[in-house]
Amino acid sequence: MTGNLQSPISNLNVVALAGGVGGAKLAWGLAQLLPPDRLTIIVNTADDFEHLGLHISPDLDTVMYTLAGLANPETGWGIRDESWNMMEMMARYDGPTWFRLGDRDLATHLLRSQWLRAHRAPPGQGFPLTWVTRELSKLLGVRQAILPMTDDPVRTIVHTDEGPLPFQEYFVLWRWQPVVRSIQFKGIESAHPTQDVVSSLREGDLIVFCPSNPFVSLDPILALPAVRRIIAASRAPKVAVTPIVGGRALKGPAAKMMRELGMEVSPVSVARHYQDLLTGFVLDRQDENLKTEIAFDLGIRTLVTDTVMTADADRVRLAREVLEFAARL
Ligand code: FO1
């Protein structure tokens, strides 16, 4: 159902770059307005990790569960109405329970891991992450294309005052409290965007940078060889929605990372971070005073609106405003 958008917009091929919870919310809003075959979500996989013998892809699962209407509304990750029997038994064995795996969520990790292992069979038995993600999301009734940014292993290592931490240990085990010195995407040099990612970026009529963490959710996608060049070469409008509102991140470590990386905690820093790629930037009303700086110093057209997505209606409204803003660029 394409809602009551003017027809030119609902015929746009929209490509959204997303990471965790914030990105998934806007992707869901866009999915309410566009025909399913007009929305592609390219998702960060640098948060992936091996845990208890399972390949876990948190951002892919957050986007998939959100589009399937299954996501836990409180956390944004994992599945709603979840049970935790496996975790309780794990605790009896004094096994690792720092990364909480729900009983329903576990089915996703078990199947993904088994299908990927089959991929390690002789070449041509390919079950790469792109195939696995398409199968799982189709089986959950998701009709939009959810694309891992790459099928190659890329892992975010956060270099902190506690030493180098794999992303999930930094984010969950250490609750993102260690001070960040630098961020590394291990394996990025020899990784490639998938063919699906390359063609969706080339064919997209609009590229949306969702309000995800710029440094650990969108940067891994942009750091893949050729991706920045393909986005820069595209004549489609590129619109970013700010993940920073009133000097703070709505969720997670983005603001704290900015401070620790020596940047001013402001939407202007985010706009500058993507500057060479952006046509438009969506700023929250609380930061309206920064509009001229972004518009004139950075030369990026700016839309000021309410960017905080609390209820589902906010997600759809923001998605509609992004599409209508893009149509004017
Ligand atoms: N985040 C947490 O803060 N605590 C957890 O125990 C946790 C478990 C978890 C399990 C599956 C999954 O897909 C995501 C999970 N997350 C958890 C969120 C995850 O760490 C983040 O969503 C991303 O990696 C960053 O966006």
Ligand 1 center to residue 174 CA distance, Å? 12
- The residue whose C-alpha atom lies closest to atom 12 belonging to ligand 1 is 58
What pLDDT does residue 2 have? 45
Distance of alpha carbon 93 from its chain centroid, rounded? 34
Ligand 1 atom with the smallest distance to the CA of 101 is 10
Answer yes or no: is pLDDT of 95 > 90.
Answer: yes
DSSP 187: T
Gap between the Cα atoms of 199 and 156, Å rounded: 25
What pLDDT does residue 118 have? 83
How high is the mean pLDDT of the chain?
A: 94
Answer yes or no: is pLDDT of 4 > 80.
Answer: no
Distance of alpha carbon 244 from its chain centroid, rounded? 15
Ligand 1 atom with the smallest distance to the CA of 102 is 10
pLDDT band at 119 (very low <50, low <70, confident <90, very high): low
Residue with tokens 């905690």: 265
pLDDT in tens, 136-173: 999 999 999 999 999 999 999 999 999 999 999 999 99
Mean pLDDT is lowest, of 46-60, 71-85, 122-136, 212-226, for 122-136
Contact, 20 vs 214, CB < 8 A? Answer: no
What sign for the dihedral angle of Cα 141, 144, 150, 155? negative
- Write the CB contacts of 307 (distance below 8 Å, at least 6 apart in sequence): 211, 241, 242, 245, 282, 283, 284, 318
Ligand 1 center to residue 39 CA distance, Å? 25
- The residue whose C-alpha atom lies closest to atom 25 belonging to ligand 1 is 20
DSSP 216: I
What sign for the dihedral angle of Cα 130, 135, 138, 139? negative
Pocket test for ligand 1, best of 17, 99, 109, 165 (most atoms within 8 A of CB): 99
Contact, 327 vs 8, CB < 8 A? Answer: yes
Ligand 1 atom with the smallest distance to the CA of 61 is 13
What pLDDT does residue 32 have? 97
Ligand 1 center to residue 166 CA distance, Å? 13
- The residue whose C-alpha atom lies closest to atom 2 belonging to ligand 1 is 172
Contact, 252 vs 213, CB < 8 A? Answer: yes
User: How many CB atoms neighbour CB 310 within 10 A?
Assistant: 10
Ligand 1 center to residue 58 CA distance, Å? 6
What pLDDT does residue 135 have? 95
Pocket of ligand 1 (CB under 6 A): 19-20, 47, 58-59, 61-62, 77-78, 99-101, 105, 168, 171-172
H or E element, residue 316 = helix 312-327
Contact, 18 vs 136, CB < 8 A? Answer: no
Pocket test for ligand 1, best of 77, 183, 221, 257 (most atoms within 8 A of CB): 77
Helix axes 129-139, 103-119, angle to 10 degrees: 140
| Mean pLDDT for the stretch of residues 280-294 | 96
* Domain boundaries 8-328, corresponding CATH code: 3.40.50.10680
What pLDDT does residue 250 have? 80
- Write the CB contacts of 59 (distance below 8 Å, at least 6 apart in sequence): 18, 19, 20, 23, 43, 44, 45, 47, 217
Contact, 199 vs 139, CB < 8 A? Answer: no
Ligand 1 center to residue 54 CA distance, Å? 14
Ligand 1 atom with the smallest distance to the CA of 20 is 26
Ligand 1 center to residue 172 CA distance, Å? 7
Ligand 1 atom with the smallest distance to the CA of 171 is 20
